[in-house]
């Protein structure tokens, strides 16, 4: 590959960096080369790809991915993506397969073997055994004339122009292309299965990602209690309510109806405006029309509303009735941000 540099075209596979400009140029050329090869995959999506997707989506068994070296690492990532998006998948290392791991394969499984060359010794030893199982064999391969490609039922073409490695040896472009092909498979299957964000949440119950998809406002606000005062409550009663619940606010209600909210900020503004607070009531201090959210909404949605309105609390309702307060700190503690 060549790249223009100071009006000269330098052959990158024999070019060694000497300064910061060279480093930037070499990094950029890596991105350009890999991006070009990933984009070229669009022209390689053929009827074999469609047939593989249609077989997997109706598969009674699992998708088994196998490979050696860097391709094995890519296979493991594809397995993780498939499992998390509704397609059961298992990784089987090509070297371990002939030492007992072939027992993983069940009658209704489909096998995807990943290899750049398709001619590695491990693959040549493994493929005949895979053919004996009678399972559908898919080759994700960079050489359509290879041993693996010739033995496979379907071919997913992941050939490249060259590796980004200056010596054209280390798997760089090839593994990026394999990964992209795996993502394309997963996305197609996800769409055909009509796999929703709620389905996704079932497979990701732990961590921030899972909480964004399943944690509800009520899961947090129900632990906070119901800070509230009536509209004729004096300043002392308002302060006690805010302090007791430690949410930085209290809601002003009348017979269950939400009239307004009083926050720490409202208290500070009151003190700046009045030197004598005797006779002031909650009605004089409160902010009207507070932002609300139903307790059945996702906590992530509450965070979005807070960010949009630059506020730290939301009044929580349920079927239109006051049900509590959710504070920004509640969401922070759950690690959703």
Domain CATH code at residue 295: 3.10.580.10
Q: Please indicate, yes or no, if residue 209 is contained in any of the structural domains.
A: no
Report percent pLDDT > 90 for the chain: 72
Q: Please indicate, yes or no, if residue 283 is contained in any of the structural domains.
A: yes
As a whole number of angstroms, the distance between CA 274 and CA 271 comes to: 5
| Number of other CB atoms surrounding residue 292 within 10 Å | 16
Question: Residue 184's domain is classified under what CATH number?
Answer: 3.40.50.10490
Residue 206 has what pLDDT? Answer: 60
Segment 8-30 shows an average pLDDT of: 67
> Where among 135, 163, 195 does a domain terminate?
195
Residues in binding site for Zn(2+): 93
The structure's pTM equals 0.67
Residue pair 5/166 in contact (Cβ under 8 Å)? The answer is no
Closest alpha carbon to 68 in 173, 178, 164, 157:
178
> Where among 163, 195, 227 does a domain terminate?
195
User: For 203-219, what is each residue's pLDDT tens digit?
Assistant: 665 655 666 667 899 99
Residue 139 and residue 109 share a domain: yes
Residue 241 and residue 137 share a domain: no
| Locus of tokens 């009827």 | 47
Question: Of 130-144, 185-199, 209-223, 323-337, where does the model show the most confidence?
Answer: 130-144
| 21 pLDDT more than 50 | yes
Q: How confident is the model at residue 323 (pLDDT cuts 50, 70, 90)?
A: very high
Residues in binding site: 93
Two tokens, residue 137? 């064999």
Across the chain, how many H-helices and E-strands are there?
15, 14
Residues 6 or more apart in contact with residue 127 via CB below 8 angstroms: 113, 137, 147, 148, 151
Residue 116 and residue 11 share a domain: yes
Two tokens, residue 50? 């469609």
Strand 257-263's sheet: what is its strand order? Answer: 228-230, 249-254, 257-263, 287-288
Residue 226 and residue 178 share a domain: no
Segment 97-106 shows an average pLDDT of: 89
Residue 257 and residue 175 share a domain: no
Q: How confident is the model at residue 80 (pLDDT cuts 50, 70, 90)?
A: very high
Q: Is 57 exposed, middle or buried (0-12, 13-18, 19+ CB in 10 A)?
A: middle
Segment 73-99 shows an average pLDDT of: 93
Residue 207 has what pLDDT? Answer: 58
Residue 186 and residue 115 share a domain: yes
| 153 pLDDT more than 80 | yes
> Where among 165, 195, 225 does a domain terminate?
195
Residue 183 and residue 228 share a domain: no
Residue 98 has what pLDDT? Answer: 84
As a whole number of angstroms, the distance between CA 216 and CA 320 comes to: 17
Give CA angle at 58 (61, 50), nearest 5°.
Answer: 115
Q: Mean pLDDT across the chain, nearest whole number?
A: 89
Residue 283 has what pLDDT? Answer: 94
Residues 6 or more apart in contact with residue 105 via CB below 8 angstroms: 64, 92, 111, 130, 133, 135
Give residue 134's region: left, alpha or beta (phi > 0; psi -120 to 50).
left
Q: Quick one: the chain helix, strand, coil %, rounded to 5?
A: 50, 20, 30
Residue range(s) defining the domain that contains residue 250: 217-333
Residue 25 has what pLDDT? Answer: 86
User: For 103-118, what is each residue's pLDDT tens digit?
Assistant: 999 999 999 999 999 9
Segment 271-275 shows an average pLDDT of: 90
């Amino acid at each position: 590959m060549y790249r223009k540099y100071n009006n000269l075209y330098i052959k990158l596979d024999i070019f060694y960096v000497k300064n910061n400009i060279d480093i930037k140029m070499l990094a950029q050329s890596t991105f350009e080369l890999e991006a070009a090869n990933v984009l070229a995959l669009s022209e390689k999506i053929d009827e074999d790809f469609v047939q593989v997707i249609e077989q997997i989506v109706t598969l009674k068994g699992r998708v088994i991915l196998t490979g050696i070296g860097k391709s094995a690492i890519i296979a493991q990532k594809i397995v993780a993506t498939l499992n998390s998006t509704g397609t059961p998948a298992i990784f089987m290392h090509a070297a371990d397969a002939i030492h007992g791991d072939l027992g993983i394969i069940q009658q209704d499984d489909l096998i995807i073997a990943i290899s750049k060359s398709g001619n590695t010794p491990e693959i040549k030893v493994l493929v005949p055994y895979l053919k004996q199982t009678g399972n559908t064999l898919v080759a994700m391969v960079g050489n359509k004339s290879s041993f693996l490609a010739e033995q496979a039922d379907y071919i997913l073409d992941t050939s490249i122009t060259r590796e980004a490695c200056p010596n054209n040896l280390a798997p760089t472009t090839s593994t990026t292309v394999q990964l992209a092909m795996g993502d394309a498979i997963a996305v197609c299957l996800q769409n055909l299965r009509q796999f929703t964000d709620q389905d996704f949440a079932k497979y990701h119950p732990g961590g921030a990602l899972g909480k964004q998809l399943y944690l509800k406002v009520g899961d947090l606000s129900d632990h906070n209690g119901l800070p509230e005062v009536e509209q004729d409550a004096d300043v002392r009663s308002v302060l006690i309510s805010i302090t007791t619940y430690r949410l930085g606010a209290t809601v002003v209600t009348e017979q269950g109806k939400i009239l307004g909210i009083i926050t720490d900020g409202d208290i500070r503004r009151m003190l700046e405006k009045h030197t004598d607070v005797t006779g002031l009531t909650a009605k004089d201090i409160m902010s009207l029309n507070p932002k609300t959210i139903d307790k059945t909404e996702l906590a992530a949605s509450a965070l979005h509303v807070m960010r949009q309105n630059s506020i730290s609390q939301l009044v929580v309702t349920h079927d239109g009735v006051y049900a509590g307060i959710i504070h920004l700190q509640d969401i922070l503690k759950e690690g959703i941000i």
